[in-house]
Structure 1
Amino acid sequence: MSAFLPLARSTLYSSVWLVPFDDYARRVRAAGVEVRLDRFDEASGGWLPSDDRAVLTPSGSIAFPGLGRRAEPWAARPERHRARFAAVGYQPLYPADGLPFSADLVGVEFLVHPYDDTHPPTALASPRLVRLLPGVAFPYPPGTRTVHGVVLDAATGAPVANALIEAGGLTSQDRTPWHERTLSDARGAFRLSLRWEGEKAAEHAVEETFRLKATERPGRTGSLFVHLPQDAERQHVIEIREQ
């Protein structure tokens, strides 16, 4: 018997495995996460909603059991799909880790390969992390230090939606790298937490300096320096321009 058969007949077989990850808490998050699936229609050249329902596995992964199963898989071609995530207070970061960021991405895209009980899919899926970043309305714990502002196009002054805003550095004591990030909303607004110390001119200096970087896509970025505590209540404007 083929080793594929028990897997194919299992209700947990899926052509994609997506793991929602709370980027602020640094842990897998399954509760309160909604996933919608779309299929690319070659005839119309657009995305159509799919009736396939997401299933939450015991490990906290999102799967779509049976997606790609066909009566005659050898006569079918792989189909493009995308999964769109939503969770209150969060914004999903696309694409998966290790790929260039672009603000116009609206889902995790993947190919679904046809299969049946005797013809396994030509490519097996591996888990893909989908990071959920704190949005403007994220309920930060009381006392969390945050800065806020807006991301604008330097040439037109128009707000840049879904831009990636980041800050990073090293902790003061053990020099461990830290990284905070968020995404701008439809109005270009953002709110970013700064839980660790920024750069100081001297060991006992009060002022801390942070560099905020905003990215719309490769080659279109902007940055500014924030000085705390004096800039804590200021609305910061990050202008995006071609680099």
Structure 2
Amino acid sequence: MTRFYPLESSVLHSPAWFVPFDEFAQRARAADVSTELERFDPAENAWVRQDTPPIRTPSAVIAYPELGRRRGPGAQPERFRVRFGAIGFAPLYPADGEDFDASLTGVEFTAYPYDDDTPPAVTGEPRVVRLLPSAAYPYGPGVRTVYGVVVAHGVPVANALVEARGVTSRDGVAWLERTLTSAAGAFRLALRWEGELVAGPPPEQVFHLTATERPGRTGALDVRLPAERNSSHVIEIVEQ
């Protein structure tokens, strides 16, 4: 059974606490989110999987408050990282405001030592972990999607960020849809909003898709709907 504790007491000294966020539904997601914790071993220069279970609060926060509890003057900070998983989703590891990089494989943090008398030198801050729809996301009936693959020199690019953004014509509200490619470079992107209107006949909407592997390696493609809705699209990553 999942352990639930009040947020105020359980994560007071947690080196990290996370809020998984379903970006498609625009709400925190508590159910069916798994985590895998790893500690960096300097002697082996490798990440080692840990058995420490997380604490989950009623407000969907995931925390590891026991990681830094170590006594003695020789206790040193330790590096950890957490990988997230949820069926139909792909975790976006860069934090909000950070540049995207497909090579990131988890959220890293440092656990500073503390005990009952001495608080940690640095306290953890809340971190939203955005869960984007994956290529296998079960979109409901009526959700318009486009699909395809992201490649670089003909080779599929895994974990690339695919985005489409625009502004509604009626009220000027900005919108954003995004997804991450599969291990085979495949993507399936929802387009729930209106694109750039193009006069017909027949009238169409143009959506500007971008794909990012890392800073300086991006690609772009325009998709015209409804004409190209059932086409498989290829976005080519190029060096900027």
Range class of TM-score, shorter chain: over 0.9
- Residue in 1 that maps onto 2:216: 219
| Inter-partner Cα distance in structure 2 for 1:173 and 1:77 | 57
Q: Unaligned stretches of 5+ in structure 1?
A: 1-6
1:148–1:235 contact (8 Å) kept in structure 2: yes
1:237 pairs, out of 230, 234, 239, with: 234
Could you say which residue in structure 2 is the equivalent of 1:4? none
AA of the residue aligned to 1:78: P
State the Cα deviation string for residues 195-238 of structure 1 (Å, max 9, x = none): 00000135997200011000000000000100000000000000
2:159 counterpart of 1:162: yes
* Counterparts of 2:113 and 2:132, CA distance in 1: 33
Deviation at 1:8, TM superposition (A): 11
* Contact 2:135-2:182 within 8 A present in 1 as well: yes
Shift of 1:241: 1.2
- Return closer, same or farther for 1:128/1:204 CA change in 2, 3 Å cut-off: farther
1:35-50 alignment to 2 at 5 Å? 35-50=35-50
User: Could you tell me which residue of structure 2 aligns to residue 26 of structure 1?
Assistant: 26
Matched residues, percent identical? 57
Matched, 1:194 2:186: no
Deviation per residue, 1:28-84 (Å, 9 max, x gap): 001000011000110111100012111111211101121110021x31221111010
TM-fit CA distance, 1:124: 1.1
Q: Which residue of 2 aligns with 1:84?
A: 83
Which of 207, 210, 220 in structure 2 is aligned with 1:210? Answer: 207
Q: Deviations over 1:142-173 (max 9, x none)?
A: 010000000000xx311000000000001121
Q: Report the residue type matching 1:44 in the other structure.
A: E
Deviation at 1:99, TM superposition (A): 1.0
How does 1:73-222 map onto structure 2 within 5 Å?
A: 74-153=73-152, 156-202=153-199, 206-222=203-219
User: Is 2:13–2:123's contact at 8 Å kept on the other side of the alignment?
Assistant: no
Q: Distance in 1 between matches of 2:200 and 2:82?
A: 47
For 2:93, the aligned partner's letter is Y
1:16 aligns to what? 16
Q: How many residues align?
A: 234
CA contact (8 A) 1:12 1:57 kept: no
Alpha-carbon distance, 1:12 to partner = 6.0
Which blocks of at least 5 consecutive residues in structure 2 are unaligned?
A: 1-6
SS at match of 1:65: coil
Does structure 1 retain, via aligned residues, the 8 Å contact 2:11–2:64? Answer: no
Per the TM alignment, residue 97 of structure 1 is displaced from its structure 2 partner at its CA by: 1.1
What is the CA–CA distance in structure 2 between the aligned matches of 1:127 and 1:36, rounded to whole Å? 18
Q: TM-score, normalised by structure 2?
A: 0.93
1:69–1:141 distance in 2 versus 1, CA, 3 Å: same
Matched-pair contact (CA < 8 Å) for 1:9–1:117: no
